[in-house]
Structure 1
């Protein structure tokens, strides 16, 4: 088996596997083009699908592989785009995750690996899908910590955290937070925490995505009001669309992966997926 890494700076597979080199560029009309330098019968493709050009590059690469004689092609898509758009809220909207999954399914992959996907709807819509959990990420981060608390930032994350706690053999309380939104604009107006005194223990908020970070800032504020120690964040996909400014005053550290990007800082540690997964 050989690997084809389509995203610059992202090599999530065992370095002993031989890589298929490729070159890609945009035509003047905005069209994506890719040219493979080699081929193989069995290929494992990695792709960060951070924008529509990257989606198109994946589709074109699979076509090129098949035309070059590849028989078995699998894909590792660490962050599945449109997984948050997994329902139609009002008339006139698309079911975006289904459109995305239809495109991926058109490639007829032998296997599609995704990392800590946001919505279980995605797993039902993707053919031959295999979910990789966040357990290895959490285990690596927490390996040097004792007597800490796991925190669910909202009710939606709680089911995953119970499963994670079992995998970690974690026996302390799981702290449950809840968001109350203003129905007129969707903004968070209150965050509740189910315990009043956290005993000075370090808290680790667990979730799949950090985008702007407003939820985590709100949760961190409430935890520190309740005698939390350090408040850190473990998220599989660190988008950080608003940068660090809104997070740095309240969150002591953020642990994430390179599923979206490579940059790190004093606040943000990006753990390589190559060190966490084995396909």
Structure 2
């Protein structure tokens, strides 16, 4: 979803429709800008990418002296941060090149999946998710003294462990079938989780397989309630096992890309 704000006004959502040939008709509310144009993009699909280009081009023609900023909390193509064969297209590199072509004065992202993505964007600000994680911990009733902080893999441990000081910490080591890449299970390293409530932190969730196997092992080891935070949660989580497995009490995420309604398990935190 795309919206924009002229100077200090409220955000205005795009008004779009299609001509008979399928091309877009876009209307922007007339206004005057002397200082700034702020664009917000909560990514839903790649069609919005061309919409972004059209509206930024138009607004830059209208307001050539204004400062232009983009708030894009989820970085599309973030997982495609390297290629292993000539046949693979380095989509992240080309997407970032596209964003750079519009000449934003600042591009703000949230907890970008790879440092490669942040490095490829000009004038980028990579926001820490710490405040949102703390809010989720508070809502879940997490105790830094009594409960257990868990990172589902070594990557999430490196990313988040320095943000928090908990007395009881662990992380997962995935067991894979390297011929298929499929996760077969997970081992827990660190403190004993028996009898303790768990709070899991990770950056992106698609179907939730890693957290599912984490929860399965933690339950085998005798843990209590399990709550989870994802900085970004794709709607595909509903097709995975986390909602129905009976092991997860709460799933917290931001509204960066998740458009699912809140339910008894899923709770979305609104980005500022």
For normalisation by structure 2, the TM-score amounts to: 0.89
1:37 and 2:29 equivalent?
yes
- Determine the C-alpha separation between the residues in 2 that align with 1:100 and 1:215: 27
- Within the candidate set 11, 18, 21, 1:26 is matched to 18
Question: Which one is further off, 39-48 or 110-119?
Answer: 39-48
Q: Which moved more, 1:151-160 or 1:170-179?
A: 170-179
Q: Does 1:95 align with 2:117?
A: no
Structure 1 residues 20 and 243, CA, compared in 2 at 3 Å: closer, same or farther?
closer
Q: Which of 60, 64, 68 is the equivalent residue of 2:58? A: 64
Residue 196 of structure 1: how far off its partner (Å): 7.0
**Alpha-carbon contact 1:6-1:46 (below 8 Å) kept:** yes
Counterpart for residue 207 of structure 1:
202
How far apart in 2 are the matches of 1:99 and 1:30?
25
Taking the aligned partners of 2:250 and 2:239, their CA distance within structure 1 comes to 11
Instruction: Map 1:99-138 to 2 at 5 A.
Output: 99-138=94-133
| Equivalent pair of 2:38/2:69 in contact (CA under 8 Å) | yes
How far 1:261 moved relative to its partner? 3.0
Query: Is the Cα–Cα contact under 8 Å of residues 152 and 176 in structure 1 kept in the other structure?
Result: yes
Change in Cα spacing, 1:191 to 1:201, as seen in structure 2 (3 Å) is: same
Shift in Å at residue 58 of structure 1?
Answer: 1.0
Query: Which structure 2 residues correspond to residues 190-205 of structure 1 after superposition, within 5 A?
Result: 190-195=185-190, 197-205=192-200
Show structure 1 runs of 5+ residues with no match: 275-279
1:97-139 Cα offsets, whole Å, 9 max, x none, are 1011011101100100001111110111000000111101111
Contact 2:113 / 2:204 at 8 angstroms: preserved in 1? yes
Equivalences for 1:166-177 in 2 at 5 Å? Answer: 170-177=165-172
Q: Provide the residue aligned with 1:54 in structure 2.
A: 48
Question: Unpaired segments of 5 or more residues in structure 2?
Answer: none
CA distance in 2, matches of 1:21, 1:154: 38
Q: Following the alignment from structure 2 to structure 1, what is the Cα–Cα distance between the partners of residues 85 and 13?
A: 44
Q: Kindly tell me: are residues 171 and 93 of structure 1, through their superposed partners in 2, closer, same or farther at Cα, counting changes over 3 Å?
A: same
TM-score by length of 1: 0.87
Instruction: Decide which of 253, 257, 262 is 2:254's aligned counterpart.
Output: 257
SS state at 1:150 partner? strand
Calculate the aligned-residue CA RMSD, in Å.
2.0
Give, in whole Å, the separation in 1 of the partners of 2:20 and 2:154: 47
Per-residue deviation, 1:152 = 0.8
Which residue of structure 2 lines up, in the alignment, with residue 86 of structure 1? 81
Distance in 2, matches of 1:31 and 1:179, equals: 46
Following the alignment from structure 1 to structure 2, what is the Cα–Cα distance between the partners of residues 140 and 33?
Answer: 40
Could you tell which deviates more after superposition, 94-103 or 244-253? 244-253
Q: Is it true that 1:6 corresponds to 2:5 in the alignment?
A: no
Greater relative contact order structure (CA < 8 Å, 6+ sep)? 1
Q: Residue 181 and residue 29 in structure 1: after superposition, are their counterparts in 2 closer, same or farther (change >3 A)?
A: farther
Instruction: Give the total of aligned pairs.
Output: 260
**CA deviation string 1:62-81 (max 9, x = no partner):** 01111111421100001110
